[in-house]
Chain A
């Protein structure tokens, strides 16, 4: 398997649920990213990890909790989400200079 793989592809959850999104990259990259893609808005960077260390938190609410156990895996733990959090969540990876970034196909998240 190659590239950036995200699971699940679709997720429906209630506002009180706890769930996790998973991302795995097979490109040998050192940096991984979470983005949020909402309709009619630019992609928004959420978190950056470089060599497993978080280097960027773009003022993301604490109900989103990232975890990067190694350079190949990235998780986004979700709890007590709001309806406005419904979006496509994209994972990306790159070499440590960030150029270029390669994206997965995303997890479509719907909050009931």
Chain B
């Protein structure tokens, strides 16, 4: 139980284009999902908290107009990186709160490379 999927697993895009990443909770409903970014050999940095049916809450320093988050249903949240630049290249991981509200289950991550 508590499986989170993420799609795509990796993507290469050209500078200036937009990329959408999907995060799904497969066997449970997730009122809250989280988006993290992880650079090589670094920790997971929280980007935003996504609540179903409401606007995402972004962490300080994260541009909400660049990283668009939509949480349209209890099983799906999407992150769109708009006008991507090479410095946006990173490993993006989503997570969803489990049934107890405390445990978080992570998706497999999306490796984004912007050329």
A binds B: no
Q: Using a CB–CB distance below 8 Å, which chain A residues touch chain B?
A: none
